[in-house]
Structure 1
Amino acid sequence: MPTLISIYALCVVALFVKMLAISCYQGFYRISRLTFKNSEDAGFVGRQASPEELPQVSRAAQAWANDLENIPLFFVLGALCLVFNPPLLFTAGLMVLFTVARLVHTVTYLARWQPWRTIAYAVGIMCLLGLAAMVSMGALRHW
């Protein structure tokens, strides 16, 4: 049976790869269209800087910003869960469900699929609240 730390570690890696994929997605659109907002990037390929970012790049940047509002909280709450040894199956379920919800959120954000994006976001937030409850209960047990 996997340990909570191995599940947490795999979730962290999956979220890292997901965020890296968003960066690659942005790079793909910039390079394939040879459209860069920064003058040094445009100049590197012999182009003029674009006054605006490509729509796909802007959308991915918004998804990235949303990740930065949620994923660091998961990293902290998940690590704190490891300290307090909460119920394995429930906590592991929250970690895996959060990770899946963030993956779905990114796909639905880039594809502009509502209400699925909001549902994925809400599921992720509920998982964070559950992890916060596990940390709180653990801290109170050790008070």
Structure 2
Amino acid sequence: MAGATLSLDNPIFAQFLFYAGVVLIKTCLMSLLTARYRHKNKAFLTDEDCQSLKRRTGVDVKPSKNDPDVERVRGCHQNDLENVIPFVLLGLLYSLTDPNPWYAKMHFRIFTVARLFHSVAYLYPLPQPSRALGWFLGYIITLSMGVSVVRAGVM
């Protein structure tokens, strides 16, 4: 386990950093996309946001919690939070188990592609089971890393 360190000298950890960074940035960008749809559709959650819009534009709107465009983006963002955080935590631990470099890279890469595909399938929307397949593939990858971490901890 000499190579299992949290260092850029560890190629597995370096790969993990790249892919974890991609999915975390994508998750952060979902907040901006939510804000974009809230402004575009004038679908604000709070009275103060509605009042701010009225002061700036003269447009009077009431708080809205059910705009379909906003809710689609929020659903995608919520799904990211539920899946990316476990991936990052388990991926970090998995990086320390000295896994086979090729398998580790495939775990990280497949998860990232699956999450990006899931977001495209969610936001556009693509017919099911597209989104479900993207979610399931990422979930299986995270679960696989989790099992590897637990197995390494038992030995």
TM-score normalised to the size of structure 1?
A: 0.88
Alpha-carbon offset, residue 120 of structure 1: 0.5
User: Aligned residue for 1:116?
Assistant: 130
Once the two structures are overlaid, the 10-residue window that deviates more, 100-109 or 18-27, is 18-27
Runs (4+) of structure 1 exceeding 6 A deviation are: none
TM-score normalised to the size of structure 2?
A: 0.82
AA aligned opposite 1:112: P
Closer, same or farther: CA 140–51 of 1 in aligned 2, 3 Å:
closer
AA aligned opposite 1:74: F
Distance 1:53 1:70 in 2: 24
- Partner of 1:62: helix, strand, or coil? helix
Q: Where does structure 1 lack aligned partners over 5 or more consecutive residues?
A: none
Match of 1:40 among 45, 48, 60: 48
In our comparison, the structure showing a higher alpha carbon Rg is 2
Note if 1:13 corresponds to 2:21. Answer: yes
User: Aligned residue for 1:66?
Assistant: 79
1:28-84 alpha-carbon deviations (Å, 9 max, x no partner)? 112223331211111111133233442111111111111122111111110111222
Distance 1:52 1:119 in 2: 28
Closer, same or farther: CA 132–52 of 1 in aligned 2, 3 Å:
closer
- Does the CA-based 8 Å contact 1:101-1:121 persist in structure 2? yes
Higher helix share: 1
User: Aligned residue for 2:143?
Assistant: 129
Count how many residue pairs are aligned between Structure 1 and Structure 2: 141
